[in-house]
Structure 1
């Protein structure tokens, strides 16, 4: 019995599944049933008599290929194991093995995995005798990363370093030499890395017309999933294999092209019609995931894209819930606001914790939230980036503070001494014992021969005598640790510096180091392997969340130079990708979408919160598309006043009534100032002499009355 395609597919899906006779590009909007369309197209081709072995299905993961072929087999009621489905790299490997003689290589050539490639790059560096004794010289993994990126993006090494690794510019000539030596080592020893598989396949097809013709005759139909994620050579391979008259169907969404850092080039999908004249473009615009208010907002995000395929997502899922924009006083109060919203979604809408995801552009942006979750013992899982307390440079910085508070902390000593040259595993316990025993003579002899050890011990003595508030201690630690961090992590220390800035931001809300250390060191119950994922809040970078969906999604840090990032605001192509990243984030939401916009963020070197402008992705949204909430001095949120509504009364509530301060004077329930925290609002008296104050930049604090000055 034949499949009833018309009843199982919507109109656009049906057109995409049944189109024949010319190249086809399917622009599959988020949540529009892309995989379903590919599965039914595959089944339709086989039903029409196309031999399964002549259909080449190219995907970006083996799992995706297996799922599509398996689902098509179920539809047809017959096996389709003969469909050559798989990744670009697996297809290239099989083809090169089959035609190794024509390429002039041993058919038993070895393919290097990532670890093997890194080792070979190190070998190339060592043979050139580059970086000897220079601890700042790029590590082997970074060497391979730079070489691979330059090939994928088809840029020379110097151009790539200038654009993406400016801190490595002093080593640019060395990197070019290593790249050349690395290529020669592979060639001389019959080795291919993953990038070689693609470029060597292209070389084979271009240099051997007979092989090219054989491949084209074998594959009458080429289907490519996630075409927006192809790099330049992958797009050229599709063109070569399909030829001028072959049938090629590419499926993807230009609005979800967010992997430029891996070499993906959005121009491949935008220029499909130029590469394949006469191509039919089918747009899948009916969304099966999100509510219409969410789609109205995401459609608007795309309206200002410079180059795009016009599409307008719609759904039959109606709701009265509009997306919300939460404007918080600071990035610190943003973290607390997220927790309030999570509680509200669970309490008022019956959502399970696992139904909710908090998304962010970069991994460090969740650090403040992670600390708040740890303080509450709230389970969470994090995808993308690294958890705050697991990052090596964060552990290093905290180790110094731990030693200032507890000189007997052996684990912290091991970490701090691990960065001292000349202090090996056998010497570490001797140093610790001498410090704890107070053996000044032994230490004097050691430090006379080892300046780094002397610098460390003198720094720790100074820090121990007067650690001050955690933020001040971290300022001193950052100054001492920066040259160490440059030596220990030369490849990415600028990114790690951001992590230290976030650590200082977290510390700014604490009065003493032990309390701060206790909060950041608490074990996260969400890491318990026995805890089911559905009981944990999902924290994820947007890249890691692509392809997923959640009933409720919150997007953090929607401020200029945070999202979009600072570098993106100076390069139009990067800005366009950031817009697409915003679109991907918002289209993960099924029922509830919340956008968080901090009005200030902590700037470490200034030791204060600095105002930030809202993200342009928020400011360009029409006000009628969302509900606007602003944080109040009472710690809650109120909706912004709609146009035409009179101003609310200015008199403040007097919860708790006036009370006596430490000097005997009355402190009214109103605005006040603090020497460190600045302007705030007293919202509660805690007898006999304390007050709960909501500070604009630091959130809720309990302060002794004599340190508060009421505003006149």
Structure 2
């Protein structure tokens, strides 16, 4: 159990008595250290498996911990998120503590918050609804009641998105509606578990007899409510091991605070403290940049920063690129990704990370135009996708049938068996020629086959029934397998993940840090977000920004202040090894226009504000029928025309415009010109071809329009050139 551990990891693994605090920097092998600690303690007879509860913050992290323990031959240890551990206890003890069945768990609270707002005669747009929902969640994890919310916002120096008194009224009505309908939300799971353990000492004693040893991962992210639950689990005992890094505190807006980590020694003077600083993930060049970023940090968390030491051989210097506008930045990023893939880097080992989810659309478009598969982190849950649910049913049926299935009998390994079953649902080992929904479906099923390959390698001789049970456990924990493709994710969603190549994009002041980050504490949390992004990269790291939003727009943006002293050409800038460097200046992309004027959704009538919605003339959530076959034909035609003209594909038509055309299926030039994104010039240049495609005919290519690249703005909705 101790072989292969470095001295500090070994110290963690052998520290089995009393409180233990592990300060673990990014990429230092903390999961390895704590799982080996549990396994070593079990083998040594100090930690009975059934008496150990390991808690973390994501289902993926809990699933990884369970997998590591299984590989170490340790069974019976509970590795769960705070919420799943609390929910399990609440379900078991509710009949005894309260009586009857536990109220139904509310999967998504947004709809109920919207109804609560309507009851209070407050109309909330979609973005406002998300903000109010987030405020309610913050209030609950900080144990703030509706009547105390306005005062709590002031005390926490929190910038509320709406009038706190109004939010408090919506919050109170939301709680009333839940009670009327006998439902609870995820925050209630923790609150009610805390209430049961506080009010029923007999039940608390049963829990404490069951769980006697605790491990808490990502301890810098615990909220006051989670800390209170942990204290109730512990009682007066001290068999606790916490792991965290104050420099990776990025969820304070949800109520998370590093205070519990930073004050651990004062609360436990006899604690064993171990620092993990050997970075096994990233090259010296990446680590040097990460250390340099934190070296300029301020505040309490910065005082406890860890200076990482790379254990890898030297790699390429991080690249710095400046572009005139966002489309140019996205197109160049897609080209560089394609170069990496051509050079042997797997698409699944590449990520594009940005500050907010709204930045993803232009990168989705650029990657699709380049023919590069991608997956959007934080999109529809993997196990809720229709094709995955259908595959699960087929696999369960095949597992029950067993050897009676001739196709399964002929298959040799587990992965081949899974592939044979999925073949009955239409899956093939070779990817489809098209993209879009067809390719997404194939990638989902391919990820199940790859999961079967990994599962079979970890458990030789595993049966199809074993694999089905693994899938059921993963579905229950929402521990999805990786889907092959470039990952697009926000910096928050990237926490805990890593890739061979990482592209950090949109690094401008106002975006990172965001404009609303005004206090020193908020600014420093934005810096820590960039630190998290940098430390996701193993080998290749690219940082970029653009000076304007749109081609031809005003170039008034500045690179993020966090890059000062780090990027070439700024005071104090330096490189770790002296190789390469400099800022690449990108070329401008063809100019495009942004629609102007109020536009309403053609389905529900809501005023539209987002650019993709303006082009579609509907909310992205409103139902619409897209001709998928037409969309694929348009997509392939666009790729060919872009190649002929020597332009990026989106300079012909964007994906959103193609979607709008596939929804409208215009039959005349007049109908086509009414589609947002089809201006007069594009109508002249491509109109005949597009209308032929809409009619199911083969288009005849026209000569390139001789008009200049940039046209004067007309101010009309469909004025995209």
The two structures have a TM-score, normalised by structure 2, of 0.60
Tell me, in whole angstroms, the C-alpha distance in 2 between the residues paired with 1:633 and 1:617: 21
Tell me, in whole angstroms, the C-alpha distance in 1 between the residues paired with 2:708 and 2:59: 62
Structure 1 residue 150: Cα displacement: 1.7
**1:21 corresponds to 2:32:** no
Structure 1 residue 212: Cα displacement: 3.7
Structure 1 residue 93: Cα displacement: 2.8
Aligned equivalent of 1:360, options 350, 354, 358: 354
Conserved in 2, the CA contact under 8 Å of 1:102 and 1:208?
no
CA RMSD of aligned residues (A): 3.8
Conserved in 1, the CA contact under 8 Å of 2:502 and 2:536?
yes
The SS at the match of 1:551 is: strand
Aligned to 1:312: 307
Inter-CA distance 278–316: structure 2 relative to 1 (3 Å threshold): same
Conserved in 2, the CA contact under 8 Å of 1:93 and 1:197?
yes
Q: Deviations over 1:54-101 (max 9, x none)?
A: 21222224454344345334424x6x23x3432222322333345447
Inter-CA distance 592–526: structure 2 relative to 1 (3 Å threshold): farther
Conserved in 2, the CA contact under 8 Å of 1:357 and 1:550?
yes
Structure 1 residue 295: Cα displacement: 0.7
**1:54 corresponds to 2:51:** yes
Aligned to 1:589: 537
Conserved in 2, the CA contact under 8 Å of 1:378 and 1:524?
no
Tell me, in whole angstroms, the C-alpha distance in 2 between the residues paired with 1:376 and 1:51: 54
Aligned to 2:556: 611
Conserved in 2, the CA contact under 8 Å of 1:380 and 1:537?
yes
Conserved in 2, the CA contact under 8 Å of 1:385 and 1:541?
no
Conserved in 1, the CA contact under 8 Å of 2:52 and 2:212?
yes
Tell me, in whole angstroms, the C-alpha distance in 2 between the residues paired with 1:99 and 1:135: 38
Inter-CA distance 26–526: structure 2 relative to 1 (3 Å threshold): farther
Quick check: 220-229 or 359-368, which moved more? 359-368
Tell me, in whole angstroms, the C-alpha distance in 1 between the residues paired with 2:438 and 2:521: 38
Structure 1 residue 318: Cα displacement: 1.6
Structure 1 residue 194: Cα displacement: 1.9
Aligned equivalent of 2:334, options 331, 339, 346: 339
Aligned to 1:454: none
Aligned to 1:430: none
Matches within 5 A, 1:450-489: none
Conserved in 2, the CA contact under 8 Å of 1:31 and 1:287?
yes
Aligned to 1:71: 68
Quick check: 321-330 or 530-539, which moved more? 530-539
Which structure carries more strand by proportion? 1
Aligned to 1:87: 81
Conserved in 2, the CA contact under 8 Å of 1:380 and 1:527?
no
Inter-CA distance 313–630: structure 2 relative to 1 (3 Å threshold): closer
Conserved in 2, the CA contact under 8 Å of 1:362 and 1:385?
no
Tell me, in whole angstroms, the C-alpha distance in 2 between the residues paired with 1:32 and 1:236: 29
Tell me, in whole angstroms, the C-alpha distance in 2 between the residues paired with 1:586 and 1:227: 21
Aligned to 1:150: 139
Tell me, in whole angstroms, the C-alpha distance in 2 between the residues paired with 1:234 and 1:633: 47
Gaps of 5+ in 2: 381-433, 448-482, 567-571, 590-704, 712-721
Aligned equivalent of 2:323, options 328, 332, 357: 328
Quick check: 63-72 or 227-236, which moved more? 63-72
Quick check: 213-222 or 25-34, which moved more? 213-222
Structure number with the bigger relative contact order (C-alpha 8 A, sep ≥ 6) is 1
**1:131 corresponds to 2:121:** yes
Structure 1 residue 586: Cα displacement: 0.9
Structure 1 residue 198: Cα displacement: 1.3
**1:601 corresponds to 2:548:** yes
Structure 1 residue 290: Cα displacement: 1.1
Aligned to 2:106: 113
Tell me, in whole angstroms, the C-alpha distance in 2 between the residues paired with 1:359 and 1:33: 23
Gaps of 5+ in 1: 387-521, 637-700, 708-712
Aligned residues: 490
Aligned to 2:212: 220
Conserved in 1, the CA contact under 8 Å of 2:352 and 2:487?
yes
Structure 1 residue 340: Cα displacement: 4.0
Conserved in 1, the CA contact under 8 Å of 2:322 and 2:586?
no
Tell me, in whole angstroms, the C-alpha distance in 2 between the residues paired with 1:53 and 1:365: 45
Inter-CA distance 337–530: structure 2 relative to 1 (3 Å threshold): same
Q: Deviations over 1:436-472 (max 9, x none)?
A: xxxxxxxxxxxxxxxxxxxxxxxxxxxxxxxxxxxxx
Tell me, in whole angstroms, the C-alpha distance in 2 between the residues paired with 1:241 and 1:125: 36
Q: Deviations over 1:213-236 (max 9, x none)?
A: 443343221111222222111012
Conserved in 2, the CA contact under 8 Å of 1:97 and 1:107?
no
Conserved in 2, the CA contact under 8 Å of 1:327 and 1:629?
no
Tell me, in whole angstroms, the C-alpha distance in 1 between the residues paired with 2:356 and 2:78: 37
Inter-CA distance 180–356: structure 2 relative to 1 (3 Å threshold): closer
Tell me, in whole angstroms, the C-alpha distance in 1 between the residues paired with 2:226 and 2:327: 44
The SS at the match of 1:57 is: strand
**1:571 corresponds to 2:515:** no
The SS at the match of 1:114 is: coil
Structure 1 residue 12: Cα displacement: 0.9
Aligned to 1:620: 565
Tell me, in whole angstroms, the C-alpha distance in 1 between the residues paired with 2:128 and 2:91: 32
**1:259 corresponds to 2:251:** yes
Aligned to 2:494: 545
Structure 1 residue 159: Cα displacement: 6.1
The SS at the match of 2:442 is: coil
Inter-CA distance 106–382: structure 2 relative to 1 (3 Å threshold): same
The SS at the match of 1:8 is: coil
Tell me, in whole angstroms, the C-alpha distance in 2 between the residues paired with 1:96 and 1:148: 20
Conserved in 2, the CA contact under 8 Å of 1:286 and 1:315?
yes
Tell me, in whole angstroms, the C-alpha distance in 1 between the residues paired with 2:561 and 2:127: 36
Tell me, in whole angstroms, the C-alpha distance in 1 between the residues paired with 2:133 and 2:544: 37
Tell me, in whole angstroms, the C-alpha distance in 1 between the residues paired with 2:113 and 2:710: 64
Structure 1 residue 596: Cα displacement: 0.7
The SS at the match of 2:72 is: helix
Inter-CA distance 121–372: structure 2 relative to 1 (3 Å threshold): closer
Tell me, in whole angstroms, the C-alpha distance in 2 between the residues paired with 1:51 and 1:541: 39
**1:200 corresponds to 2:192:** yes
Tell me, in whole angstroms, the C-alpha distance in 1 between the residues paired with 2:545 and 2:125: 38
The SS at the match of 1:20 is: coil
Conserved in 1, the CA contact under 8 Å of 2:142 and 2:223?
yes
Aligned to 1:499: none
Conserved in 2, the CA contact under 8 Å of 1:328 and 1:630?
no
